[in-house]
A = this chain, B = another copy of it.
Amino acid sequence: MNQQPAPANLIDKLAQFSDLWSQKKIAQLNDYEVKLAKLKGEFVWHRHDDTDELFLVLSGRLTLQLRDGDVVVGPGELYVVPRGVEHCPLADEETAILLLEPAGTPNTGDAGGPRTKAPEALA
């Protein structure tokens, strides 16, 4: 009998929430969290001094505004923002992403402020 946890189906997990700019944890890899989020509009400029941050776009289109220029990440594309690099996510249309970074990484990095929000568990 198979007693293993089921794989996480990304489409099913995305269907479980609709709130924007709210990270949902779906798996853990050592001390890293795998999270999903839905974005629309502009976030805040911030940086993470202690960690790189991986973005994989699942649907929509994510513009990572950087001080040296924009990086546009489309569906099925992956980008790693290096530690210390200021970035400001922007999504003109609703965009679904998978995020990977160490647990405890604040979503607003060094900036803090009212949009700071801890990840939520997603069953």
Binding site for B on A (CB under 8 A): 1-4, 6-11, 26-30, 32, 34, 51-54, 66, 68-74, 76-80, 83, 100-102
How many copies of this kind of chain does the complex include?
2
The residue that A7 contacts in the complex, of B32, B79, B83, with Cβ under 8 A, is: B79
Query: How many Å lie between the Cα of A46 and that of B41 in the bound state?
Result: 45
Chain B residues whose C-beta falls within 8 Å of the C-beta of A28 in the assembled complex: 52, 80
Is there an interface contact between A8 and B79, defined as CB atoms closer than 8 Å? yes
Give CA–CA (A68, B3) in the complex, Å: 7
Query: Across the interface, do A51 and B69 meet the contact criterion of CB distance under 8 Å?
Result: no
State the majority secondary structure of interface residues on A. Answer: strand
Interface residue from B10, B72, B73 paired with A77 (Cβ < 8 Å): B10
Contact A69 B27 (CB under 8 A): no
Closest Cβ neighbor of A14 among chain B residues: B76
Of all chain B residues, the one with the shortest Cβ separation from A9 is B77
Please give, as numbers and ranges, the residues of chain B lying within 8 Å of A68 by CB-CB distance. Answer: 2-4
A-B pairs, 10 with minimum CB distance: A2-B69, A7-B77, A7-B79, A7-B73, A8-B78, A29-B54, A4-B71, A10-B76, A29-B52, A9-B77
What are 17 A-B residue pairs whose CB atoms fall within 8 Å in the complex?
A2-B69, A4-B69, A4-B71, A7-B74, A7-B77, A8-B79, A9-B74, A9-B76, A27-B78, A29-B54, A29-B80, A29-B101, A30-B52, A32-B32, A34-B54, A34-B80, A100-B100
